[in-house]
Chain A
Amino acid sequence: MMDKLKLGVFELTDCGGCALNILFLYEKLFDLLEFYEITEFHMATSLSEENHYDVALVTGTVSTQRDLNLLKEARNHSEYLIALGTCATHGSVQGSVELPIREKLKAVYGDDGNPMRALDSKPVVEYVAVDFALPGCPYDKNEVYQVLMDIAKGIEPVRKDYPVCLECKLNEYECVLVKKGLPCLGPITYGGCNAACIRSGLGCIGCRGPLPGEVNPASEYEILKDLGYDDEYIIRKFKTFARWEP
């Protein structure tokens, strides 16, 4: 049996969901452990003994100097680094609070100082080069399983290239945008969640970020305007998970 790959999970500032989702793999986690040894995963283990990782998963945004140091540490000591989750790939919700950090701190903590060295929340990809980016708030857990399996087998993981809309069609879900007039970002959002929210009869809020390439945010914008949503509402919606210009 060949040596197992060393896997590190590094959590920057976030909700914990992208790290937790790994534990939610249940039996599949044990399948992964046939190929990987977890040597850093601070939510799940008190061990922390390695300083070299074959694969590093980084979740969360860089929101403090500590986060930035940890991210550099992870990058410098890993072969293959995956920005995992929309926080890491696009900044997610905390990245959408657009005020200078000092003003934010003042509004919430009521002082002008910044003793803990907070930074404006930015995605991991703005600070270091990543080998793979897997968005989702949180990402679909089967996707991370597939990506890690591919890497273990020496295959470069593939990026999906279709919007959430396609998954609605495959599941034969009724279109909530056309049929109910709900503000659904499915047509321009990166697919891979199996249209989870449309299954509930609700509109996609864009948690996986924009589908790169061919999509047409301008036409989505027009559709929402025609449905009677005002400019500010639409723009805020576009900007919630990824800083997306219509």
Chain B
Amino acid sequence: MIIELREFTRVEGNGKAEIVIEDGEVKDVRLKIIEGPRFFELLTLGRHYYDVPDLEARICAICYLSHSVASVLGIERAFGVEVPEEIALIRELGLIGELLESHALHLYLLVAPDVFGYPDAIRMATKHGELVKEGLALKAFGNRIRVMVGGREIHGINVKPGGFGRYPTVEELERVEKESEALLRLARRAVRLFAQLDPYGAQAKHFVATDGYLWGEKLVSDEEGAFHYTERIEERSLVYSFAKQSLYKGEIFFVGALPRLLLKSEMLTPAAKRLFEEHREKLETGYVSYNNLAQAIELVYSLERANEIAKTLLDRGIEGENVPVEPREGEGIGYVEAPRGVLIHHYRIDANGNVAYSNIITPTALNHAMMEASLLEEARKLYGEAEERAMIGRLEETVRAFDPCISCSVHLVKL
């Protein structure tokens, strides 16, 4: 017998799951990504490098800037371009804006209704209006940073190889400095709320993240040594899903907020670090549902870090100079932490500056196997114990804990 779950709601994109029951037991779970394929790698083939980040941004609206930055990093590495600290800091600020916008959307509008038992945030607002408003305030702040750095709330084209079209102004940075401080109180409250929840889903055994907090030169894991994805991560196609599945040295692994905290807690800002220590024991159990608590702690991190960056830039003053980019034949990989985990853009570029090869692997694709494992675990626990409706509800929550971005998982790959 197969129990078909209807399409997931309150996630970005289209997906559903099937539970396979044999002899009265849950035998298997299949997570089906039914969002149609969009062929981004084919789209960028033969394209001039300058236009590529703007196209790749369209992979996902919630984290378009992560895609622009990952794409730009891949291109710059292919050409051997290094950017000065100013440009790096502004990019980081953009990624922080995205983290705030995405985590706030996810936690307050998509997950919180589960916590309080509502079908959506609009209906939840009748009783918990304050909370919804707080979420929207954080989200709007994140979006203002995205406009400042990325050029638009969604799919801006301001982030370019070698720099930006337009640089932030002093007034804009002062505003970031002020608002980030004012919002910190709300983020702390979110941590208290999400710390109360009981764990569910599977316990992850392997974690992967970039070697810097929000981007890096390479990846790190719970094992020794930084590495390139080609060395330890493998992808495979599935007949029932448009998203491929990835394994780390043949095993299931997890990317996202929780892995970031566990692997890189020493890089956190002071208040975020204290909160991490306070909840460390819980987080270290590796339950995927604690990803939501980790996201709340990252709200605190993001606000503190945005404040630091704005201060630094204001102190040094903005030069607003782009680095010249000369195309040459080369290969480069951009690693970024999108809000929902590691994002990889890998390109080979020819002597004319046109893309000859591209491979993009997104966090939801990396987490696909982990999501299936979590669904299986929950289904086994609940099948026969809970009513079917309750079981299905919990399974949906399990998927939501990942902060999946289904449109982004649809891919993508080797040519």
* A→B interface (CB under 8 Å): 11-18, 20-21, 23-24, 26, 33, 38, 42-48, 61, 63-64, 66-67, 92-94, 96-97, 99, 104-105, 107-111, 113, 115-116, 118-119, 121, 137-138, 141, 196-197, 199-202, 205, 207, 233, 236-237, 240
Q: Is the CB of A201 within 8 A of B165?
A: yes
Residues of A within 8 A of B405 (CB): 16
On chain B, the number of residues with a Cβ less than 8 Å from chain A's Cβ atoms is 68
- Could you tell me the distance between the alpha carbons of A205 and B39 in the complex, rounded to whole angstroms? 20
- B48-56, B199-207, B247-255, B263-271 - the one binding chain A: B48-56
Question: A94–B211 Cα gap in the complex (Å)?
Answer: 32
Bound together, the chains give a CA A115 to CA B238 distance in angstroms of: 10
A92 to B136 alpha-carbon distance, docked (Å): 29
Contact with A along B53-64 (1 / 0, CB 8 A): 011001111101
Residues of chain B within 8 A (CB-CB) of A116 are 34, 240-242
Q: How far is the CA of A26 from the CA of B46 in the complex (A)?
A: 40
Chain B residues with CB below 8 A from A93, complex form: 38, 40, 43, 55, 58
Q: CB-CB < 8 A to A61: which residues of B?
A: 36
In the complex, chain A residues whose CB is within 8 Å of the CB of B413: 108-109
Query: Once the chains bind, are A33 and B122 in contact (CB under 8 Å)?
Result: yes
Instruction: Tell me the complex Cα distance, A196–B156, Å.
Output: 8
Kindly identify which residue among A44, A92, A111, A207 contacts B121, using a CB–CB cutoff of 8 Å.
Answer: A44
Stretch at the interface among B3-11, B180-188, B291-299, B343-351: B3-11
A233 to B410, CA, bound (A): 27
A107→B408 CA distance, assembly (Å): 18
> B10 near A46 (CB under 8 angstroms)?
yes
Contact B109 A44 (CB under 8 A): yes
The contact of B157 among A24, A64, A110, A205, by CB within 8 Å, is A205
| Set of chain A residues within 8 Å of B330, measured between Cβ atoms | none
Cβ contacts under 8 Å, A196 to chain B: 151-152, 156
The number of inter-chain residue pairs (CB within 8 angstroms) is 180
Whole-angstrom distance between the Cβ of A112 and the nearest chain B Cβ: 12
**Closest chain A CB from B46 CB (angstroms):** 8
Residues on A with beta carbons closer than 8 Å to the beta carbon of B46: 236
- CB of B37 within 8 A of CB of A199, answer no
Interface on chain A toward B: helix, strand, loop, or mixed SS?
mixed
B47 at the interface (CB under 8 A from A): yes
Asked if B38 and A121 sit within 8 Å, CB to CB, the answer is yes
Q: Who on chain B is nearest to A240 by CB?
A: B55
What is the minimal beta-carbon distance from B400 to any residue of chain A, in angstroms? 10
Please tell me if B35 contacts chain A, counting CB pairs below 8 Å: yes
A35 to chain B, nearest CB (A): 14
A84 to B239, CA, bound (A): 31
Residue of B nearest to A65 (CB): B36
- Contact across chains for A97 and B12 when beta carbons are under 8 A apart: no
Which chain A residues border B111 with CB–CB below 8 Å?
none
In chain B, positions 109-143 with a C-beta closer than 8 Å to chain A are: 109, 113, 119-123, 136, 140, 143
Asked if A94 and B166 sit within 8 Å, CB to CB, the answer is: no
> For residue B113, which residues in chain A have a CB less than 8 angstroms away from its CB?
46
Q: A46-B119, A93-B58, A137-B58 are in contact. Are A202 and B240 (CB under 8 A)?
A: no
